[in-house]
Structure 1
Amino acid sequence: VTRGEELEAMVDALKPGEILLMQNTRYEKGESKNDPELGKYWAGLADMFVEDAFGSVHRAHASTVGIPSNLPDNALGFLVEKEVDMLGKAVDDPVHPFVAILGGAKVSDKIAVIENMLDKADKVIVGGGMAYTFEKALGHNVGNSLLEEDKIDLAKQILKKGEGKLVLPVDTVIADAFSNDANTQIVGEDIPDGWMGLDIGPKSIELFKKTLEGAKTVVWNGPMGVFEMPKFANGTLKVCEAISELPGATTVIGGGDSAAAAIQLGFEDKFSHISTGGGASLEYMEGKTLPGIAIIAEKD
C-alpha cells in the first residue's frame, strides 16, 4: 500500500532503527503528476526527507519533489551526493584535456548532450548507431545501418559547430543481418547496400585511443556498437579498456547502456564512477536542472 490506515499504523509503530518499505509509489496515479495532495500526505508520515534515488531525480514527481517541498528538513543521501559530486566534477569543473565519448542508437536522444559537450570538452568522440546519421551528413553511403533521415540537416549543423572537436569513426564492422551469426566484414566510411554497421572497426578504435591519450577527464555515455552480441562488442570493449587505463584521469560513465556494458565486460572497478541513473545522468550531461536535487538545494 502507498496510503491509508494500514500504512499509517505501521509508520506509528516503527521503533528506532527499524525500516518500513512502502509499495512502489508509481502505483499512485498522482505520483508522476506531482499531485500536491499526495506529496503533502506522504510528507505527513515523516519528520525529514533523504533523497537517495539518483535514477529518479530528473523527474518532478510527488515522491521526489512533492515530499521535500512539504518538509522543513531535507538532505541528499550518500549515493546521490556521490553522483552529484562525480558528475559535477567531470562535466562542470573538468580537469583538461576533457574528452566526452558518446554512443548509442539515436542522434535525437543525444543532441543536447553533444551540443553541451562541444561547449565544454576538448574532444567529443561519437560512435554507435548515431554515428551513421553523421556519416550520411558527410555524404557517405550507410547501407542498411541505423539512420535518422530527419536529423541529417541537424547533424550537418553539429558537424560545422564541432569542426576540429568532433571525432567520428573511420571504419566499421558491417553485417548482412542483425544477428551474431551474420556474415561480417570491415569497410571504410562507405557501407554497401544490404549491409549494416554494427560496431566500430580497428582503425576507429586506434583513432579513439589516440584521441583519449593524455586525457585527464573522460565522460562516456553510450556503447560503440551492439555490445550485447559478442561479435559486435569489440569496439565498446576496447574503448572501455582504453578509458580504464588512463593514468590519473577522472573517468565517469553516465549510466544506461554504457554502464551495463562496462559491468558486463568486467570493468566495474576500473572507473572513477559508474552512474546509477541513465536518464538522470544524461539530463545532467545536457546541462539540465534535476528537480529532485534542486528542491533540496533550495531548502538548504
Structure 2
Amino acid sequence: MGSDARCCDAGGSDGPLAGVPRLADHPVAPGERWILSAGFNTGPELADTGRIDCELADLAALADAGARVAVLSHQGSHRDGSARGLSHIAAYLGRRLGRVVAYHPHSADEEAPRVAEAMAPGAVVLFGNTREYAGEERGDVGLARAFARLGDRVAVGGFSKAHRAHASNTGLLGLMPGVAARSLVRDVAELAPWAARDGRRSVAVLGGRKPEKVLAGLAGLSGSYDLIVPGGVVLNTLLAALGHRVGASWLGSDPERCVRVAREVLQGPRRAVIHLPATVYVAPADAAGNPVGPARPLALPGDVPAGHAVVDFDLQPWAAAELTYTERALVAGTPCQYRFGHTRAVDAVLPVLAGTDTLLLGGDTVAELPWRGRTSTGGGSALTLLASGDCAVLRALRAQTASLL
C-alpha cells in the first residue's frame, strides 16, 4: 500500500492475521531453499511496479541471509492466452536489488528443479510464468507438487491473489511449511481502517470487469458501507438484475451467479444506499465490450441497444452531495471506461474523495486512474478480506501446524 502504517500488533488483536506464521519471525540460515510466491502480474511495459516493489525487502533479506531463493509469479492468464514470459520482471528485479536475478523460462519443467538445486547461497532465480499451466488457477495438486520441487519452504506474498486457491500459493502450503511474507502481512494490516464499522460515513465505488466486484464487493460491503456507487461490471449486473437488456456491456466471467447475487442485494436487507444513475452513456462495442465508436446518453429505465455497451454514467445530484460528507472511501475497479476517454464518473467522484480517507484497490485501477493518495495492490483479495474478514491464503497459513525444520 501507499503508506507503511501498521494497524495490527502481535497477539490476539491481529484480526485476520491471528495465528498466521510470519517470515519476519523466522530466522533464515545460509543455504536454505526458499520459494517466494509473489503476485507480480505486470506486463513488459512495467506501467505499474507496485506489485513487484512490495516484495523487494523480503527478497533482499532472504538473499542477504544466504538463502537460495526461487521466485514464482504470474502474468496474465492461461484461460485467455495472455500468459507470457517474465524475463522483463527478472531484469527489473536485478536492477532494483543490485544483484543478478537469473531467469528460467518455466516453473514446472524437468529442468526447473535442477536449476533450483544448483543455486548458490544468496542466489535468486525467477522461474517462468505459473499461469503457463492450466492447473495453476485450478489449484491442481500435481502442479503444486512440481512447484514444490524448487524449495523446502515457502514465503507467500502476492496479496493480489491471496483470495484465490492457486497451485502456487495454497497448493504449496498444503505440501510444505510456509509463512506470510512481510508484504502480505503489511497489506492485510493496512486494510483494517476500511474494514471496521467505525462510525465514519463511508462510500464504496465499485467497477472494473471482474466478478468479485459483485460477489465480494457489492454483496459484502452493502452490509457495512453507507453508499455504494456502482460502475463497470457492477452497474451492468445491477441493470441486468433489474430486468434491463445490457447489450454488449461487461458482465464478467460468471454473469448468472453475479446477477443472482445482485438481485439478492437489491432485495435487501442492507445498510448501503445503492446509487443507480438516471443517465448512462452507451457506445458501439466490440465482442469484449470495449467501445469502438462515440457514446450517446441513454435515459434509465431503458435497454442498451444490441452491439452497444455502457461506458459511463452521470452521478445523480443527491449522490454528489452525499460524497461531500464522506469520511472513508474505497475505490475498487474503474467505474467507467476511462482509458477509452469516457471519464464522467471518475471526474465526478475522485476530486471529491481526494479530501477524504480514500483507498484505491487493485493494480489495474491504480495504474489507470489519476490518483496520488493511498493505494493497495490487492483488488479482489482486498474486497474479499474487507467483506468476509478472511481469504484463502490466510486460512491455509493458519493451517500450518508443523514448525519450520
Letter in 1 for 2:273: L
2:112 equivalent to 1:10: no
The within-5 A match list for 1:1-300 is: 1-3=106-108, 6-28=111-133, 31-36=136-141, 38-40=143-145, 42-43=147-148, 45-72=150-177, 74-92=178-196, 96-104=200-208, 110-128=214-232, 130-131=234-235, 134=238, 146=249, 155=262, 157-161=264-268, 165-175=272-282, 177-178=284-285, 179=291, 181-182=293-294, 184-185=296-297, 188-191=299-302, 197-201=310-314, 203-204=315-316, 206-230=317-341, 232-246=342-356, 249=357, 251-255=358-362, 259-267=363-371, 269-270=372-373, 272-275=374-377, 277-287=378-388, 289-299=390-400
Q: Distance in 2 between matches of 1:47 and 1:143?
A: 50
Query: RMSD across aligned C-alpha pairs, in angstroms?
Result: 3.9
TM-score normalised by length of structure 2: 0.57
Cα deviation 1:45-98 (Å, max 9, x = unaligned): 4343111122332232332123233333x3222322232123343124656222
SS at match of 2:195: helix
Cα distance change of structure 1 residues 282 and 7 upon mapping to structure 2, 3 Å threshold: same
- Structure 2: give runs of 5+ residues left out of the alignment: 1-105, 286-290
Q: Distance in 2 between matches of 1:145 and 1:29?
A: 28
SS at match of 2:125: coil
Q: Distance in 2 between matches of 1:254 and 1:124?
A: 15
TM-score normalised by length of structure 1: 0.73
Shift of 1:199: 1.4
Cα distance change of structure 1 residues 12 and 159 upon mapping to structure 2, 3 Å threshold: closer
- Structure 1: give runs of 5+ residues left out of the alignment: none
Q: Distance in 1 between matches of 2:245 and 2:108?
A: 54
Letter in 2 for 1:280: S
Cα distance change of structure 1 residues 147 and 223 upon mapping to structure 2, 3 Å threshold: closer
Cα distance change of structure 1 residues 44 and 242 upon mapping to structure 2, 3 Å threshold: same
Shift of 1:295: 1.6
Q: Distance in 2 between matches of 1:145 and 1:30?
A: 30
Q: Distance in 2 between matches of 1:42 and 1:147?
A: 35
Aligned 8 A contact 2:283 2:311 in 1: no
Shift of 1:27: 3.9
SS at match of 2:294: coil
Shift of 1:101: 1.8
Structure ranking higher in helix proportion: 1
Cα distance change of structure 1 residues 93 and 5 upon mapping to structure 2, 3 Å threshold: same
Q: Distance in 1 between matches of 2:232 and 2:389?
A: 24
Shift of 1:8: 3.7
Aligned 8 A contact 2:219 2:262 in 1: no
Cα deviation 1:103-129 (Å, max 9, x = unaligned): 346889604432211211122222345
Letter in 2 for 1:235: A
Q: Distance in 2 between matches of 1:36 and 1:55?
A: 21
